Amino acid sequence: MFENRFHGRVAVITGGASGAGKAVAARIVAEGGRVAIWDQDASGANAACGDTGAALAIGADVTDAESIAKATDETVAALGRIDILLNSAGVTGPTTPLTEYPVDAFHKIVDIHLNGTFHCCRSVVPQMVRNGYGRIVNVASIAGLRGYAYVTAYVAAKHALVGFTRALAMEVIQKGITVNAVCPGYTDTDLVRGAASAISAKTGRSEDAVVQEMIRTNPQGRLIRPEEVAETVAWLCGPETDSITGQAIAVAGGEIM
């Protein structure tokens, strides 16, 4: 760990009230940065600030462009600038065959993962361009690199997010801004545990059996730890990665090589 790697830097983390986003917040604070946590759960964002030492909590809805524009203005007013953006807000959605997939659920998942990232980048990138520096990391999941049955909305949104990452990286490549995606495998978070619970309720299998099935996709035979995702994000956001952009990096125990 680099004690002052992020000294003078301000990071925005969406969905930072829990999971990998919260782990990243703790890591950036530990390395000298200031963090604003944006989350639809405002009370959760406040609690995460207490847990991680983040400087600012804002209740924000990534699917609402006006909400994100307001959050951007509030962050800059409070912390002076935005150097780092981690788009980690997300939901899992139902596990259902395509012909039975609820239309509203499909749109919700795409809205949060893809449109939400668009709104946040569209709002924050001008700040980075003015500063001549920026690090954007999108949490795209291993589902952005391979297919999984019965989760078409999630897989489609995450694949689109990888494409968005590469397109934006090319757009800002000469402006001092890098744009990358991290693609974790099944990670030991409330989101994954919640998905396991939903599958258990639908299929009658125990939650432990569902988690074990998830683990079997990982050649290391385990869930990824949020801290491992945070380590990768911290590296991508550090000063030593000026030449790393447009990449989709799997943090998945060898599930994709």
What is the average pLDDT value for the chain, to the nearest integer? 92
Given a cut of 70, whether residue 194 has pLDDT beyond it is no
What would the mean pLDDT of 208-235 be, rounded to a whole number?
85
pLDDT score of 257: 85
Nearest Cα to Cα of residue 248 among 174, 117, 160: 160
- The tokens describing 119, both together, are 């709104």
Domains of the chain: 10-185+224-251 (3.40.50.720)
User: Up-side HSE of residue 69: CA atoms within 13 Å toward CB?
Assistant: 4
Could you read off the pLDDT of 33-60 as tens digits, one per residue?
A: 999 999 999 999 999 999 999 999 999 9
Active site residue 154: yes
Given a cut of 80, whether residue 198 has pLDDT beyond it is no
**Better pLDDT: 2 or 183:** 183
pLDDT score of 196: 66
Helices 116-131 and 65-79, axial angle in degrees (round to 10): 30
Q: Which of 31-35, 79-83, 218-222 has the lowest mean pLDDT?
A: 218-222
Residues 6+ apart with CB under 8 A from 50: none
Query: Please, where are the H alpha helices in 80-151?
Result: 103-110, 116-131
Q: Which of 106-120, 187-201, 205-219 has the lowest mean pLDDT?
A: 187-201
Q: Which of 101, 133, 154, 186 is catalytic?
A: 154
